[in-house]
Structure 1
Amino acid sequence: MGKWDGRSDARRQSVRAYLHRWAETTGAQLLVVDPEPDEGALAEAMAGHGVHVTWVGSTLDGLVEFGRTDPHAVLVTPAAPGIPADEFVGLIRRHGTPYVIAGAEDLNDLGAASSAALGSVGSLMLAGASAVVLRPYAAQNLWEVMSHGPRSVSEHARVEVGPIELDATAFTVRVNGERISDLPLKEFELLRALMLSSPGLVSDDDLGDALWGTHDRRPGGNSIAMHVTRLRSRLGDVAVVRRIRGRGYSLSVDGA
Structure 2
Amino acid sequence: MARVLIIEDDEVTAREIATELSGHGMQVEWVGSGQDGLDRAATGRYDVITLDRMLPGLDGIEVIGRLRERGVQTPVLMISALSDVDDRIRGLRAGGDDYLTKPFAPDEMAARVEVLLRRHDTGQTRSQLKVADLELDLLSRTARRGEAELNLLPTEFRLLEFLMRHSGQVLTRMMLFETVWGLNFDPGTNLIDVHIGRLRRKVDPAGSEPLIHTVRGSGYRLGKHV
So what's the TM-score if we normalise by structure 1? 0.41
Q: Which one has the largest radius of gyration?
A: 1
Between structures 1 and 2, the one with greater helix share: 1
